[in-house]
Structure 1
């Protein structure tokens, strides 16, 4: 159990650091927070004599993207008739995949370093962990590209959403599917001879299904133009967060590393899942706060939760303490005025 605590703490430290830097919420001292040091300064292969051994995990991770991009768009298919489509795939990948903090992807190698002794952490296993990390970043890009269309978002990571670019529009739906399909091409090519390959496929498929269920619940809770604040309960909020965010953002990277390390017992995965889903909920609460009160210059996006009628933590908590008059005001103005919830929340 202690190994799982260390793994969860280190694999997600970058996420926690980002949250604490941007948000007024402060995490209290806790064994999870005070565990071992961050993985980000570790070098590849624990002393392997090569130039790569001098690079940190984030540097190795960035270098790996160029390699997999070349593989997918230049060496994967040899049909000359697909030249334009592969060029489009390259543009999609470059624009949508590497622009984030990469915390989910880096959590794979960070977790693997916690789970394997140095003698077992070979250069091949490091490279596979980096590639699996990029597959998670690609899964994230697939989700976000589709989510931006459904939410009619304007910006993502400090630039226009992909579907908002000239000439893209709803073609972005197929573009997002290309990104998702590329995940399984990479996993098959690089991992199918590994004993954990089937576990990885099941993990990615199950996580995708869980996330899409969470997205469906989110959309059903707040259909466009239909205001029903009775749907905005803490139970519903926690379920949306668990399935839409926590599974793929927190459990997926650590679970992938566990399978790579040969940790495949249901008990250990259940223990890790419990810890990581709690951390995912904490992360989402801060994200909801930043959607309303965060500076777009810092967060990289313009928040739309209020005008999108989203079941966010702010409105759920506000509904628990609003007076009847304030609730009535919120029901009338929730959809039309972006600043309404901000003003009410500040006043209570």
Structure 2
């Protein structure tokens, strides 16, 4: 039944020009033309692997879990992939830029795509949590997941499954890599820091709203919050994950950290302006 469900979504979500990625195998890894095409269209390959990320997030052979898995599929296809994505794009582009051209095989790019979706799906879980706590009703020009009549606060359970399913993707597709432990550790830190940032943001907002305590509006607090809610999920975790995936020295990132910190501040300022002006329907981190 779930295969039929996946096939139905595949027909609607993957353009015909991307369909060849779904049929690639390790035997194509030595084909120079195929490798060059994959290198050029890495982001399209990323989009085409969304359905496989959904498939591998939860167990599908247990008939007793059918309804839960079907509900999970509905969630995934409601919140993606036809929307703006950030974490996965940055990770995929970083990997393509860092990896040696000879190692940009179909198999390696497929691993990069699955790792990218693991981080992106976890980021989607952060969005679901934000929508609930902020009482948002629209996300990506669609009704927020928790506002659907049959969902409500069940979304709290859904976002946990989405997050843990991402860890399952990493375990399934990257457990044989020498840097697997580093990737899982980074992913756990990614979750911890971002959820901590969300908690701090919620507390600060309540503090100012209820007591007009302007200490939460200081620049030092703003910078700390930006590093947790924007900096780590966009400009720390994705580049570091790409570095580990390419089996490179993390010192590469350390030398550029000040640049990524400034990018995070710029991104948060950009988002604040957009949300407060005309672009309120497309909410981001």
TM over 0.5: yes
Partner of 1:111 in structure 2?
94
Q: State the 1:105 CA deviation.
A: 0.6
Partner of 1:201 in structure 2?
184
Q: Any conservation in 2 of the 1:97–1:137 contact (CA below 8 Å)?
A: no
Larger Rg: 1
Q: State the 1:217 CA deviation.
A: 1.5
Partner of 2:282 in structure 1?
300
Query: So what's the TM-score if we normalise by structure 2?
Result: 0.82
How far does the alpha carbon of each residue in 1:105-157 deviate from its partner, in whole angstroms, 9 at most, with x for none? 12222112221221122221111111111111101101000111111112111
Partner of 1:85 in structure 2?
68
Instruction: Give, in whole Å, the separation in 2 of the partners of 1:233 and 1:104.
Output: 27
Q: Determine if the alignment matches structure 1 residue 154 to structure 2 residue 158.
A: no
Bigger helix share: 2
Tell me: CA distance 1:111–1:183, structure 2 relative to 1, closer, same or farther (3 Å): same
Partner of 2:248 in structure 1?
263
Q: Any conservation in 2 of the 1:145–1:176 contact (CA below 8 Å)?
A: yes
Partner of 2:239 in structure 1?
254
Find the residue that maps to 2:78 and give its secondary structure. helix
Q: State the 1:50 CA deviation.
A: 4.1
Gaps of 5+ in 1: 1-43, 304-348
Find the residue that maps to 1:222 and give its secondary structure. helix
Partner of 1:62 in structure 2?
47
Find the residue that maps to 1:205 and give its secondary structure. helix
Q: Determine if the alignment matches structure 1 residue 53 to structure 2 residue 27.
A: no
Q: Any conservation in 2 of the 1:47–1:53 contact (CA below 8 Å)?
A: no
Tell me: CA distance 1:295–1:184, structure 2 relative to 1, closer, same or farther (3 Å): closer
Aligned CA-pair RMSD: 2.3
Among candidates 284, 289, 292, match of residue 273 of structure 2: 289
Partner of 1:277 in structure 2?
261
Q: State the 1:91 CA deviation.
A: 0.6
Instruction: Give, in whole Å, the separation in 2 of the partners of 1:142 and 1:272.
Output: 28
Instruction: Give, in whole Å, the separation in 1 of the partners of 2:173 and 2:29.
Output: 18
Q: Determine if the alignment matches structure 1 residue 145 to structure 2 residue 128.
A: yes
